[in-house]
Amino acid sequence: MLPMVALRNKLATLLAADATTLAPASLANKVQLITAPFAASENLAIANLTLASGNGLGAISCATGTQNTGADPITSAQIITLIPASGSTFRWLSSGTISPAITLYGIALTDNGSATLLGVQAFSTPIPITAAGQVVDVDPVTIKFVLQPMS
């Protein structure tokens, strides 16, 4: 069955406010850098990822509660934009001694305890971090639902 536009439009709104996935009330979700190659699929598990830590590349918390939603005016895709924690952005600044280089392959959205993988995005080109003071900025972090997410 092809869902009609009213149903599709509700999908992002409901998920953006769902306390069990994208809108926890107290324990914020996290956006984390991935430091090993991976193949994005909906069956990917957190155990299959290597997440960055240390050197300024650790997890960044999202805001708790309802996330932002809207529709792309060109494609009509439903978009959820994750809100960073108050006073933060999804921007990492490397620090300390970087040896050997750290290669970043993408980002992961996880629950607060890094037990549940909620989404991944691969970078179009891996990003090498070779020294302190290098920036990785992925703001905004968005989740897109295409016109026909169900069949």
User: Which runs of E-coded beta strand occur in 63-151?
Assistant: 68-71, 78-82, 91-93, 102-110, 117-129, 135-137, 141-145
Residue 55: predicted pLDDT: 97
Task: Please give the Cα distance from 138 to 142 (Å, whole number).
Answer: 10
C-alpha dihedral over 30, 46, 25, 9, to 10 degrees? Answer: 90
Residue 150: predicted pLDDT: 54
Domain boundaries, the chain: 26-63+80-143
Task: Express as a percent the part of the chain with pLDDT over 90.
Answer: 80
Residue 148: predicted pLDDT: 63
Residue 149: predicted pLDDT: 55
User: What are residue 136's phi and psi, to 5 degrees?
Assistant: -125, 120
Regions of the chain with pLDDT less than 70? 1-2, 147-151
Residue 145: predicted pLDDT: 83
Mode of pairing for the β-strands spanning 68-71 and 102-110: unpaired
Residue 149 DSSP one-character state: -
Nearest by Cα to 112 from 42, 41, 40, 26:
26
Residue 9: predicted pLDDT: 79
